[in-house]
Structure 1
Amino acid sequence: MSATDARSRAGLVDVAEQGRICALATRGVRDLQEVVAAHPGLFSATPFDPAMLSSVATAIAFTAPWHSADELRITTRTLLWVFAADWQVDHLAASAEDVRAVVAECLAVADGAAPPAGRHLARLLADIRDELARVPAFGGLRPVWRDELARMLAAVAREWDWKNAAAAPGGSLPTLDRYLDNADNLACSFVNVTHWLATGDGNCLRHLDELLTVGREVQRVLRLVNDLATHERDVEWGDLNALMLVADPALVRARLTGLTQRCHGLLDLLAGRDPRQADYMRRQISFTAGFYQVSDFWGTR
């Protein structure tokens, strides 16, 4: 066999694997369609278009392709819930009281409460909680899941406060450092802990603290990748973006380069103890970088 033939066959193997992953994503989309149909009050806004559902399912399928569609179901639903939470706070909340109500309702659900009538975000979170509760690992590690949810909600509320304070006379935006310290608002860490509790083996769960620590560094990278790609949309929608916090965009790109190098070093160390989860987080970085070269998760407003 010639070198050209070998490369061609290797390429076909890659395409076959990509086709299998796309099929996982297709299964995920169909499940998300059922979620949207069951929660019409949560996903009626125009940006929740069919392409968003496809993007959400594809992101999860490509970052953890060794799982089955059934195994990825909770993770995929959680990522969609994160987008719904972001919309509820960033674009529907009219006051700080509205934001605090969302946070309180979601934390109460995490603690076992029934969702209040008509509160669609809390209701979907309760569905995810109840499905996750059927996973053996959840019983002992539920406080970790609840803590990551609380961190995410606190970060989302903090960003809402920053945006509204900056709009007031004499207001100012946070520094880039403070903004990156608030990267839990991206909710990558919350999705990760949900994924690890839902699918992780004993090795994964034994290293959960380390996974969360490294994952938080990956989250900072993804925050900047997102911001560099979505600056125009964030300006139009009134969202915060790292490029709004610096005088020169090169500063954000330089920070991204440094953070990415640091992450890969941490992932190299992690790979010796949990190669699968190190690969999972590497794939998060690579998929996000590639995806944002062409598109965005949100549909048009």
Structure 2
Amino acid sequence: MAVRAAQPSPFDVTATGPGAEAAARICTVAGKLQRRMRGWAVEFPAPYDPRSFDPGLYSMLALAAAFSDPHRTVDQLQPAGRMSLWVLGLGRRVAHLASEPELWRLIEHYEAVADGASPDPDDDLSRFLAVIHRELAALPAHPVLYDAWQEELRRTLRALARSWTTARAGRRPSFEEYLRDADGFGLALTFAAHRIATGDSGPAEDLADAARAVQRAVRLSADLGAAGRGLDPGEPNALTLGLPRPAVELRLAEATGQARTLLAAARARHREQADYMERHMDFYAGFFGTAPPRR
């Protein structure tokens, strides 16, 4: 393990933000990761419509990863980068399914592929998941953390299934149902992949709870940020479920506070992962314009 220097590193990220050298390094890593993401979308193209998956989206994902763990290389960030892109493709794939039997066949297949089964050669998302599984399985922490990653995948798939079923029935979820199904956002799944990539092993029930709290906060940030671009009345969003914006902002503040409390408790055993998740949450609050003003 490397020994920390006594003097602050030029790459340190402080409360006032990264210095110029640190920001340059972070943006360089993000640029490399963005190019890889665009390459994966070309390799597994079906879910990644260029009209929706534009350069700005890849840039957002890559910058979130790089700023959240600013000392990592692009290779170290790659597993989480793959996972975050896969989850976005999954949401698109599920939204276009035609029947419930098709939905459950897809879920069962993806769970099997994540356990080492052969992918469907005609399903780009299945082939992409197989690549992710092989990459994670080759890492030293995989045997210890595999069950945690598999559990987050299961939760992501089932949350999307519940959302699909609700929409198919022609009803809107309640706000509480919507927030409960934030697992479909897939951020906790991405965090689990990052844990494997960085070797952060050991008991981590508290870390899983913190990851889901961060996921809820980021989902509400994204919903509030989307309002500035105009809401699609057919797309579930916290602002279309009966709560006025001030009430959603209050719920975001509550979710953020809960996440920080859980992260503080988890930090004693998982400092780097807790820092990574908190910076992820703060990055998206800044990106979507929902961060509280500085005093």
Task: Confirm or deny: 8 A CA contact 2:233 2:240 kept in the other structure.
Answer: no
Q: Match for residue 51 of structure 2?
A: 46
* Structural RMSD (CA): 2.2
How far apart, in 2, do the equivalents of 1:106 and 1:231 lie?
33
Q: Match for residue 31 of structure 1?
A: 36
Aligned partner of 1:205 among 201, 209, 225 = 201
Query: Which runs of 5 or more structure 1 residues have no equivalent in the other structure?
Result: 1-9, 295-301
Q: Match for residue 94 of structure 1?
A: 98
Task: Confirm or deny: 8 A CA contact 1:226 1:292 kept in the other structure.
Answer: yes
Matches within 5 A, 1:40-189: 40-90=45-95, 92-165=96-169, 167=170, 172-189=171-188
| Letter matched to residue 279 of structure 1 | D
- Shift of the 234–128 alpha-carbon distance from structure 1 to 2, 3 Å rule, reads farther
| Letter matched to residue 195 of structure 1 | H
Task: Confirm or deny: 8 A CA contact 2:207 2:263 kept in the other structure.
Answer: no
Q: Match for residue 298 of structure 1?
A: none
How far apart, in 2, do the equivalents of 1:88 and 1:219 lie?
21
Where relative contact order (Cα < 8 A, 6+ residues apart) is larger, the structure is 1
- Shift of the 85–234 alpha-carbon distance from structure 1 to 2, 3 Å rule, reads farther
Aligned length: 276
| Letter matched to residue 289 of structure 2 | Q
Task: Confirm or deny: 8 A CA contact 1:99 1:157 kept in the other structure.
Answer: yes
Q: Does 1:280 align with 2:279?
A: no
| Letter matched to residue 26 of structure 1 | G
My pick for the range that moved more, 230-239 or 72-81, is: 230-239
What SS does the aligned partner of 2:139 have? coil
Q: Match for residue 240 of structure 1?
A: 236
Q: Match for residue 19 of structure 1?
A: 24
Deviation at 1:235, TM superposition (A): 4.0
TM-score, normalization: structure 2? 0.86
CA-to-partner distance for each residue in 1:234-278, whole Å, 9 max, x for gaps?
842722111122242222111111121222222223333332222
Deviation at 1:38, TM superposition (A): 1.6
CA-to-partner distance for each residue in 1:59-95, whole Å, 9 max, x for gaps?
11111112111111111111111111111112x2233
CA-to-partner distance for each residue in 1:23-76, whole Å, 9 max, x for gaps?
010110122232122223332442112222222111111111121111111111
Task: Confirm or deny: 8 A CA contact 1:234 1:240 kept in the other structure.
Answer: no
Report percent identity of matched pairs: 34
How far apart, in 1, do the equivalents of 2:212 and 2:162 lie?
17
| Letter matched to residue 52 of structure 2 | P
Deviation at 1:288, TM superposition (A): 0.4
Aligned partner of 2:267 among 227, 251, 271 = 271
Q: Match for residue 256 of structure 2?
A: 260
How far apart, in 2, do the equivalents of 1:73 and 1:65 lie?
13
Query: Which runs of 5 or more structure 2 residues have no equivalent in the other structure?
Result: 1-13, 291-295
TM-score, normalization: structure 1? 0.85
CA-to-partner distance for each residue in 1:166-211, whole Å, 9 max, x for gaps?
x2xxxx42221222111101111110111101113xxx31143221
How far apart, in 2, do the equivalents of 1:148 and 1:292 lie?
25
